[in-house]
Amino acid sequence: MFSLKNKTAIITGGGSGIGSAICTLFAEQGAKIYLLDIDETGSSGTIEKIRIKGGAGEFIQCAVDNETEVENVIRSIVATQPPDILVNNAGISHVGNVENTTAADFEKLISVNVKGVFHLLKACIPHMKAQGGVILNMSSIAALVGLSDRFAYSMTKGAVSAMTLSVAKDYVRYKIRCNSISPARVHTPFVDRFIAKNYPGMEAEMFSKLSVGQPVGRMAQPEEVAALALYLCSEEASFITGMDYPIDGGFINLNS
């Protein structure tokens, strides 16, 4: 089950965290991975892990917020093989409410988290229409519930959710499925950096506090999100499109 043998997968933001876990798992299941990221060091590490395990992967440096760069990269990939799977995982976070979010922060979040997804969708979908395909967008519970100090970030993830529904509706006749995943807090390098920067000397205390914010009492692991991504991109999920899947440790429904 959940085989991706002979599938070509384009995955953005695979240099660390959730994206790296998705790249590694998809390669283990037989997919040829094209990892798009600006992080050369992290991405090279992900590709090395894939190859050590006998998988096939290639890192291509690409800024998803640069439309021309994205178009050129996708053109080079499809010259060899049209993509079967696109995972829009690349994104940046931001802490702040509407008053202390600067215009520059707002524009940067739109550029990466919204335009980045748009650029990949626009570049890849024409090459999927002939044979069908699967698109998975990384949203967030921030698109579903109110989170303190996540004003601009929540806005971008709401846009991702809306794009997911629109693409699913417009391209279902081409046998292109489009879904999204909405994680709660996941233990990634970003979380560790955030705690170290904002709570020096209180790292263990803050990690514990952030962990118990989810009813299950811990953060998710990237591999758990990757497992859900694998299911949604596999043939076993062929009847699923236009859906969002929270993976939140009970955060949405049990935090009352």
pLDDT, tens digit, 9 for 90 and up, residues 144-185? 999 999 999 999 999 999 999 999 999 999 999 999 999 999
Residue type, 255: N
What CATH number is given for 8-186+222-254 in this structure?
3.40.50.720
Query: What pLDDT sits at residue 231?
Result: 98
Going by C-alpha positions, the residue among 138, 218, 144, 148 that lies closest to residue 186 is 218
Alpha-carbon span 169 to 163, nearest angstrom: 10
pLDDT of residue 150: 93
Catalytic residue ranges:
153
pTM to 2 decimal places: 0.95
pLDDT(194) > 90: no
**Which amino acid makes up residue 50?**
I
What pLDDT does 255 receive?
A: 79
Interatomic CA distance for residues 27 and 31, integer angstroms: 5
- Domain boundary assignment for the chain: 8-186+222-254
